[in-house]
Structure 1
Amino acid sequence: MPVTVDVFDAVEIKNASVLFKGEQVTEPFGCIGKLDAETEIKSKAKICGGVTQKKKSKPTQMNIKISGHMQLKVIREIFGITNKGLIDGVYSYGTNSLGKDFSFVAEEFDTFEENTRLIAFPNCSSATGFIKSVENGAEELAEVELEITALPDEFNEFYYEGIELAEDIAKEWMTKFNPAKLRKTAQTK
């Protein structure tokens, strides 16, 4: 019988990775300081005589802000910073830069209940341009802030989470996330 977890207090987020479209294995994202996710919704209302009588809202996308210290390869892929046509060791970013779409996965930890939750945003792209910040004399290295948009995947989902998954499913989640393999038709019913 499946275990039901009723309380999960996310205290830490670690082991984030991205899987770029067309790739087979995830790339380590880097060290995450903070992740915020907010859903955009579209509402339909029944208004009679200027008074709202009924209202239904549906999610359209999720906006995610991540701050942390990202791996250089991940930054380059997300923003389309390339060395195409340039000598070795030189990279550029400009009007022709086009970042790759990706899946984002991470582990959240509940230190109170000693539990782990895996999270995934399966269809992401950068929502802002490349931002660079360096401060001389700072005692702490500035974190990179990244805003991404999570759009629906082929199953119309923006977000997945899993707690107390089988070890093989958890490993595949973190190394080559594929929402099709989470469907009951892909597993034993």
Structure 2
Amino acid sequence: MARTRSFDRDAVLAAAGNAFRQHGYRDASIAELERATGLVSGSIYNAFGDKAGLFRAALEHYVHGFVRQRITAFAGADAGLEELEQLFVSVLEPPLSDGYGCLVNNSIIEFGNAPGIASDGINETLALVREGVASVLAREIGPAAAELEVMQLVLLYHGVLTLSRSGTSLEAMRSAVGATFDRLRAARSRHNNKQ
């Protein structure tokens, strides 16, 4: 008779995601994943198939839970420039300021754009960020001005996530984000004055 699963799937996926965030896919050993999740290797294999299956599930959990919630909160239908700025600033605060970066961004660096175990999560996140940024900017500074700014903000966002792992001063990055959003607030004022 098969035993029933007796673990909290969300907690296991969050712990595995954190281990992959800290070590990367290649360097996260099964022993490390056992320590992080509290599961033995047999349970990991029974529940997820293999290390790649656990990674896919942890990445999906991270994208659908953490990333999607952040984009909805900071770049949702009612968000303005101030909320969007908080998306960027929050990267410089716990839990993302711990020096390990973002699981998706780290996966972009580790896997690139090759089809594989991370590609769905990477593509979904890139689309979520781009669409969230684009919708806020279109509302706040107008569609024509937003077109140019969207890619700059996407680059800034992923750059901050990457540099948060490098020991770059969080205050220097916070200042750069602030200067960017000051410029966007000025563009919003010009847009509002034209209407």
Of Structure 1 and Structure 2, the greater helix share is in: 2
Per the normalisation by structure 1, the TM-score is 0.23
Of Structure 1 and Structure 2, the greater strand share is in: 1
